[in-house]
Structure 1
């Protein structure tokens, strides 16, 4: 019996799950439309600090069992089928990743593992919202590479610039995605000295419940678009210059290496929480920050931006103030920027802006466990 027939029969038994998925797709939506480009905003000035208000209320919320607006997640961990991708003709089932993805039925509700053998796959990959439960498994992050070279200024099919959203080398729009031991790269070259940078996304995740294990994400500006949903990054390497982790996800980064390649002033994160009703934020636990240039830990892309660093080593490249308000002093009253038991020459809290917070044990507790992303429901370690 063919793979498609197997999947079709199984999906007939999963109509209820599909309805839930469709509802999820509608609820998640998109905060940055295709073709739209994020502003460069190259740090026009430094704002004076004002006292941070209301942080304790959010800490209490995040410590409760009902901190997330997301529905209960029901993952399928057991693989049902395997597909092999290999650049060598006749060795694998397919010679390109996109061809392997396209071979699946439009509506997929079983765990399918796409094993991507060693090689550099020069292609732009897009997974549509209805192809859930996919796993991309590489032969090692240094051996399996998916790369493309679009940036925000690249002309699209209609002749207009693609924008940040559509510049991604790999874009995942389906829930329950897993990636293991792969490098995702945007090959847009470093801008010449004095030239404006171009947003060039290596990877965009625009769906709920995605996990990344031992992966690398490489680009310059806007490397990893952590767009929407709950996400888990474990022992990943993420490299960039400005806002190289950005978006409005609810995401936990554990044991990751964050490496700056800027020759000037850059920023590690740009978290976009824009409303009190959004249960989103980035938490970095047991990570390492290294690189060149001068680096902010984050800047407030969203009015209610949320980022926490815990047990993280910070090299001397960190700007002493730590955080930037995006040139809008009113955001200093609404953002939540915290630090807990970090180490290294860039970790000193003495020079931080007054509207960031050095967390106590109780305040840090909600951010340093899988419960931050409801991970007990959908992550299998």
Structure 2
């Protein structure tokens, strides 16, 4: 080839070299450990490898210089790394002349962004190149995500140029990069098929000997898990011990809602609950009610000591029981046909959730008196799933007495019965409890703290019985590494100052607490800063705001108010706003490209392009996103669970599109998934919601993929459901699907009839878009402590 291949071509070499390296290792092993190593042989040739790609001729042409019959794995990988460094430098050089001398702000801005994105691709490439051949099989899913990220950076670089001639020139420079990256992605995707069984066995053995710490881009998940569990929610044993002890620390964590416990729930444990509780009922039928009450609600430390491991298993079952109550709450609330107007929805949810809030508080208070004799009015008997019914909780009619209960519970019993002291009526307060359903008012945090008597505590306040690692975690929650406050009461007055002060050699999760206030600054969590946990006082109390927009002279990606580029970023209880308005056109409130990032109880407000899920993997839980056109867009593997999508009133002659997904290759494991979410109009749009055209999404790129599942869709969504981008672009190659949705806008009889629209898919197909599969959440999300459901929610 006359010119050197651009950035992604190197990735193609690395991916294929890894495959061939593994095969060579197998061949050498079969020959009795030949010291010279083995070349390509025994069943897999370069032509066979390249046949699985979209550009097979280019695949063979690019790999022949670095792959031959005498290359051993080490030599090939070393050569690939050296070529990678050379080619990235060449890519920079070839792109520097494009747009040079331009006087308009957008072009100059696009040039800067392009250089940054190619630099990000370089850094990710270096990390991927560090993988040994025997580690490749253990990281197939990761490699697919990271390669997709590099490809996304490449096309984002070109997309930043608005002038057609400049964009065309950049596309031409990066064409080889795109095509050869696609080849590498195809090979990694089919890696399991290409390797013979002997190679898989050798890989598994070698990987086991080397350890299975997940090598991430710039950080190790194992190290992160050992040092901290992300947001700081303890493991099951620690959580139940806190409930039993009811110290200040446990009060805070318990009042932080039952939702946080639901992360520990899974289908297997739920199936065991009936048998477990039947056993407990049977054991306690002839004994005193106090015994049953104590064991069904929690277990004391003395019982744990006496019965050992068996009680630990039971303790985990109790946690699952509490989690089930949260899951059932979510299921019932989302299934209801709630009013589409925001005020009506809030009022109804408030009435429902406040009951749960009061019951949880009452349970906590009764725990403190558990060792004292209790009369019938103060007895608590918990089975498995629900505290009475919502109406009974609200009206104070949950009046079953202990004498009314059966001597032994049937295995299929799925209710939690609770007698409130004195049969008193639940007080009504306009306060939402943060559980499985998102609430946006600031009262969420105020309510949790006022109910729990929360306050910042010293390290000595952590319970002495908490194991060492959990104790350190509790202390980390209570004592952030940095505090940001505009009034000077913290160590920093701006978020940027706090980020700049993070020690470069810091190990573990670095916690930044941002006190209530409106922070008018543009914040970036840099790519080299992993494991940042940032939390505020509430999504409408701690707010980061900016007003950059495309009409103001910025490329779309550069309009962001807040950018999370570091891996493992976790954010809780914060709001991000772009105030440019509908006239600003593209105006991003949050941009995120860090892999394995999490946002919990956050709010993203803007109009067009509010939330940019750029690349890699992200999980959003209990968040609210407000916008108009393409207000959730990008090419990451992004899953939104229990979130509120609030569609705003657009400008004149504009339509609303909730999503605009940017997948450019059929092998990319990316897409946007909305699970157990609600799509509703904001109050200003409500009167005109049937006049303004609103859609679930449109295909930004050729292979766009979006799935709406188990969600409630308001009547603002037009019957056809989805909108075109430009003519027939992507209509044959996109992947749009729906599953298990409810609400007046969920009907699919009048949906679009594009070849790529899958309609309502079956459960087996929908499974691939659940958290455990789609974002590989089982390997990393639990460590963050974020509430989640790995499978289906209904």
When normalised by structure 1's length, the TM-score is: 0.79
Flag the 1:22–1:301 CA change in 2: closer, same or farther, 3 A.
same
The answer to whether 1:230 aligns with 2:377 is: no
Counterpart residue number, 2:551: 153
- Give the CA RMSD over aligned residues: 2.6
Change (3 A) 1:234 1:24: farther
Match of 2:127 in 1: 23
Which residue is 1:157 aligned to? none
Comparing 259-268 and 344-353, the one that deviates more = 259-268
Write the mapping of 1:1-381 to structure 2, written as runs, cut at 5 A: 23=127, 28-29=149-150, 30=153, 31-33=155-157, 36=160, 74=221, 76-77=224-225, 78=228, 82-89=481-488, 91-106=489-504, 109-154=507-552, 161-191=553-583, 197-263=584-650, 264-291=654-681, 292=685, 293-355=692-754, 356=757, 357-380=759-782, 381=786
By how many angstroms is 1:92 displaced? 0.5
Report the alpha carbon displacement of residue 23 of structure 1 after superposing the two structures with TM.
Answer: 1.5
Q: 1:114 to 1:21 in 2, by over 3 A?
A: farther
Q: Deviations over 1:326-352 (max 9, x none)?
A: 123252211110011111111110110
Distance in 2 of aligned mates of 1:349 and 1:343: 11
Note the alpha carbon deviations across 1:257-293, whole angstroms, 9 max, x for none.
0011134411000000011221101111100001133
Q: Which moved more, 1:116-125 or 1:317-326?
A: 317-326
**Consecutive unaligned residues in structure 1, runs of 5 or more:** 1-18, 40-60, 65-69, 155-160, 192-196
In structure 2, stretches of 5+ residues that fail to align are: 1-122, 130-145, 164-188, 193-213, 229-472, 686-691, 787-794
- The answer to whether the 8 A contact 1:152-1:200 is kept is yes
Shift of 1:372: 1.2
Q: 1:164 to 1:34 in 2, by over 3 A?
A: farther
Q: C-alpha distance in 2, partners of 1:71/1:303? A: 31
What are the Cα deviations for residues 361-380 of structure 1, in whole angstroms up to 9, with x where unaligned?
21112213332101111113
Offset, 1:324: 2.1
Residue 135 of structure 1 aligns to a residue whose secondary structure is strand
> Greater CA deviation, 139-148 or 319-328?
319-328
Preserved contact between residue 767 and residue 773 of structure 2 (Cα < 8 Å): no
Query: Given that residues 630 and 658 in structure 2 are in contact (C-alpha distance below 8 angstroms), is that contact kept between their aligned partners in structure 1?
Result: yes
1:108 touches 1:132 (CA, 8 Å); kept in 2? Answer: no
Q: Tell me the equivalent position of 2:362.
A: none
CA contact (8 A) 2:215 2:221 kept: no
The higher relative CO (CA closer than 8 Å, separation ≥ 6) is in: 1
Higher helix fraction (1 or 2): 2
Q: Which has the larger radius of gyration?
A: 2
Comparing 171-180 and 324-333, the one that deviates more: 324-333
**Structure 1: how far apart are the matches of 2:768 and 2:667?**
18
Q: Which residue of 2 aligns with 1:51?
A: none
Question: What is the SS of the residue equivalent to 2:766?
Answer: helix
Cα distance, 1:34–1:129 mapped onto 2, change above 3 Å: farther
Q: Tell me which stretches of 4 or more aligned residues in structure 1 moved more than 2 Å.
A: 19-22, 24-29, 70-73, 105-110, 368-371
SS at match of 1:33: helix
Question: Equivalents in 2 of 1:322, 1:103: separation in Å?
Answer: 47
- Please give the secondary structure, in 1, of the residue aligned with 2:604: strand
Structure 1 residue 102, shift from structure 2 partner: 0.6
Q: 1:367 to 1:35 in 2, by over 3 A?
A: closer
Deviation at 1:84, TM superposition (A): 0.7
Secondary structure at 1:101 match in 2: helix
Note the alpha carbon deviations across 1:115-147, whole angstroms, 9 max, x for none: 111111111101211011101111111211011
SS in 2 for 1:323: coil
Quick check: 2:582–2:608 contact (8 Å CA) kept in 1? Answer: no
Q: Deviations over 1:203-257 (max 9, x none)?
A: 0002211000000000010000000010000010000000000000101100000
C-alpha distance in structure 2 between counterparts of 1:363 and 1:146, whole Å: 39
Q: Compared with structure 1, are the counterparts of its residues 276 and 325 closer, same or farther at alpha carbon in structure 2 (3 Å cutoff)?
A: same
Partners of 1:163 and 1:206 lie apart in 2 by 17
Deviates more, 1:105-114 or 1:297-306: 105-114
Distance 1:71 1:172 in 2: 20
Please state which structure has a larger fraction of its residues in strand.
1
1:167-193 Cα deviation digits (max 9, x unpaired): 0000111110001010011111333xx
- Contact in 2 for aligned 1:266/1:295 (Cα 8 Å): yes
Offset of residue 162 of structure 1: 1.8
- In structure 2, C-alpha distance between the alignment counterparts of 1:212 and 1:315, rounded to whole Å: 24
SS in 1 for 2:719: coil
Shift of 1:108: 5.1
SS of aligned partner of 1:344: coil
SS at 2:747 equivalent: coil
CA 241–139 in structure 1, closer or farther in 2 if over 3 Å, else same: same
Separation of aligned partners in 1, 2:505 and 2:778: 26
Determine if contact 1:35/1:162 at 8 Å carries over to the other structure: no
**Cα 1:302/1:185, change in 2 over 3 Å:** same
Shift of the 224–38 alpha-carbon distance from structure 1 to 2, 3 Å rule, reads farther
